[in-house]
Structure 1
């Protein structure tokens, strides 16, 4: 990308639990002249923010409407259950969905896991947010199953969490509107995919290399130009021009000539 193509700022949406810091640092190193603006959005609002143009791209949770948004899945999170530290499940290294069957499980309205069948016993209501659900669990009522990053985000000293080995999982992806794939979006895609700073230049150079190679070959051909090579021909000529002698060196012209003549009988 050249300087006259810069049209920043670049707006990046992200949902709770996602940490875009490592990609932002690379962006600032490569495009210091283009400001990157972070746009925090609630988990259920990630797709809408991109549809309505509130951000150019977003690190949001799947699923999304693939007919409108392009998506590059990045990673899948481990699922954990948040429990009070004195709860029986806190003594286990990990639990299963079956272990939660008799527990009241909260499912907040901003839930990020798509369940084929929700685990545990249904609560009498749904908290508005994951943060509110954590507060209820801390009060000793019910448990909460979330991606591990959200358990860390809402960490409390009186709560802990344990992996749920066979639970559904949440997947984070880089998404953007297909119809608005700008140069800056493409730059961020390259950063997320680990593309090096010279990758785009390398692709441009690749299209020029055949021409350069042809030019180099042409010069080499022009240098010889069909002319006979003199060095191989010069060696026997020098040998033939030496004076003949019977005590010549091995391989000399004189010795070879004497051996080739028949002797006359008297």
Structure 2
């Protein structure tokens, strides 16, 4: 028994020493580059575990900065291929006892974008958090494995968000077409103007507040409540809301219902040129002005 205790204590001391050495060796670094906006048509970001921030820049250049605690600078690369700017961050796998462990925040990639519109932004993220603020683009694509997404003040002709896990928050933004697909995680939408909006959620709440009436808003949730509130009362809207297991509540001015049951309600406001379609397999649906 005494031998086992001594052995365990020795292992703790050795692990503590290794950890101390590894932390000491993880020296910080900072990498910065600037690119003329006229030379960048597409921005592509492939990120494994760092946080990513895209925001408006007052400069006439795209400014990219990477700050972290890793000494291996090759883990973050900036490359321009024609008019495509490619930012990549990849974790270095270490062998040995602590090879699969990480300690603390790794780093942040910050990208400043001028007011001039970039044609396409393609962001692929595995584990970091994402923040997009006050930027414009024709085509925005975000694929996310795990991490929260905070979107504020965005303008895009077409935007696609695909997420396996993590919360999505979109505020004060304007889209032509907006498509959101999430496997696990809540979706919070507030003060968004979108001509066509489609949201599909397998597990999580969908909350849409202060939305402006657009051509179509469609939400489908396998498991989770759906809430919609309009900034101004709709004037020409066809409504269909169905829950397979919970209540449906529609409180819209001038709504004339042609179907009114506990779990299915349909109706029309005015000429009904625009569409609102809501479906939840297991959740409450609540719609108000």
TM interval, shorter chain, is under 0.3
**Of Structure 1 and Structure 2, which has the larger fraction of its residues in helix?**
1
Structure with more strand by fraction: 2
When normalised by structure 2's length, the TM-score is 0.20
Higher relative contact order (CA 8 A, sep 6+): 1
